[in-house]
Amino acid sequence: MSERYMFGTTAEGERIDALRIFDAKGNSAVIIEYGASVQSLIINGPDGPVDVILGYDTVEGYEKGNSYSGATVGRVGNRISNASFILDGKEYKVTDNENGNCLHSGTAGMHAKKWNGELEGETAVLRYRCPDGSAGFPGNLDTEIRFSLVNAALHIEYKAVIDKPCPVNLTNHTYFNLAGEGTILDHELKLEADRYTTPGPGLLPTGGFSDVEGTPFDFRTFKAIGRDIDSDSPEIIAEGGYDQNFCLNGNGFRQVADVFCRRSGLGMRIMTDMPGMQIYTGNYIPEEKGKGTAVYGKNSGVAFETQNYPDSPNRPEFRDITLRPGQVYSSETVFAFYTL
């Protein structure tokens, strides 16, 4: 049932194809070659099908958008302080695109590139070579991402190899809205996280950790995302909502989160093998046209970015994310949907 079709062309005239995959229950996902982005994810809910993610109907929407909607982010997701890092005694200067820091590998990161897509049965396979020196990062990084839909669960499998040492931290920046419209403030979230990385200026971690106990960041039992989003927490005030890296409990591949929406009767469980998750409540999504007749804005979606911790290349307190020749970067995240 899978299909490939032309989605559009970039401003430079590159053809961008879409890969549509299905599961046995009639749920579907569309992955486009631009940014290896999840463009739609239609899940059958109690009242009919719901497109549970934000996105655009045209390539132009993805090119002009500044919210990383649906995109694969890398080669180093999240922030690198001072847009630089030292590796094996050498300093590397990378793209400064956020107040002196590097966010999501700069404006020309993987999210803004054409990937090569193909279908292998009901699996969409996207590949991209990030060339040596791009955005200042060393090494030719060859990345393959496999998207599959099984029993209403979207599986994202990452693999990468490189020919020079370089930090690597791949993630996906899909915005979810389980009702398909409105805000996500009424979505109820449970998160397996006792701590979060203590943020300093610019959301850069200090290297320390803070307990969620007694704070607006405590989602260890189900809580509406919007319940504490207007609290007087300095971290929340600074960003107008949640934009925080949570330290996920446990190790290995495990369930780390559960979120549901009573309006649609849909829920979603998140499984990953990564140590962290950036939860971003779309605080700066501009008012803009989305898919169909949708108009997006603040809190229209929530991103669950499974990842290594922000600024890991500059933080010896965190796990070393250097990928070296001969090693294989491998990770998996699953978004599994259910009905209430």
8 Å CB contact between 267 and 339: yes
Instruction: Encode 85-111 in three state secondary structure.
Output: EEECCEEEECCCCECCEEECCCCCCHH
Domain count, the chain: 1
Distance between CA atoms of 225 and 299, rounded to whole angstroms? Answer: 10
Q: Which residue has the tokens 């950790």?
A: 209
Question: Residue type for 190, please?
Answer: K
Q: For position 1, what pLDDT does the model report?
A: 86
Would you call 119 exposed, middle or buried from its count of C-beta atoms within 10 A (0-12, 13-18, 19+)? middle
Q: What pTM value is reported for the model?
A: 0.98
String of DSSP letters for 284-322: TPPSEE-STT-EE-TTS-EEEEEESPTTGGG-TTSPP-E
Distance between CA atoms of 217 and 118, rounded to whole angstroms? Answer: 40
Distance between CA atoms of 44 and 101, rounded to whole angstroms? Answer: 41
192, 235, 288, 305: which is the annotated catalytic residue? 305
Question: Residue type for 189, please?
Answer: L
Cα distances from 22 to residues 196, 282, 322, 328, in angstroms, run 36, 28, 35, 29
8 Å CB contact between 181 and 294: yes
Give the domain range for residue 246: 3-339
Q: For position 203, what pLDDT does the model report?
A: 86
Q: From the DSSP assignment, how many helices (H) and strands (E) are in the chain? A: 2, 30
Q: For position 66, what pLDDT does the model report?
A: 87
> How many alpha carbons lie under 13 Å from residue 48 in its C-beta half-sphere?
1
Distance between CA atoms of 47 and 51, rounded to whole angstroms? Answer: 12
173 tagged catalytic: yes
Q: For position 202, what pLDDT does the model report?
A: 85
CATH number assigned to the domain comprising residue 181: 2.70.98.10
8 Å CB contact between 70 and 39: yes
104, 111, 173, 187: which is the annotated catalytic residue? 173
187 tagged catalytic: no
For 314, list phi and psi in degrees, rounded to 5.
-110, 10
**Spatial CA neighbour of 335 closest among 176, 119, 158, 170:** 176
Tens place of pLDDT for every residue, the chain, 340 residues? 899 999 999 999 999 999 999 999 999 999 999 999 999 999 999 999 999 999 999 999 999 998 999 999 999 999 999 999 999 999 999 999 999 999 999 999 999 999 999 999 999 999 999 999 999 999 999 999 999 999 999 999 999 999 999 999 999 999 999 999 999 999 999 999 999 999 998 889 999 999 999 999 999 999 999 999 999 999 999 999 999 999 999 999 999 999 999 999 999 999 999 999 999 999 999 999 999 999 999 999 999 999 999 999 999 999 999 999 999 999 999 999 999 9
Q: Which two tokens stand for residue 187?
A: 């979505």
Distance between CA atoms of 139 and 87, rounded to whole angstroms? Answer: 12
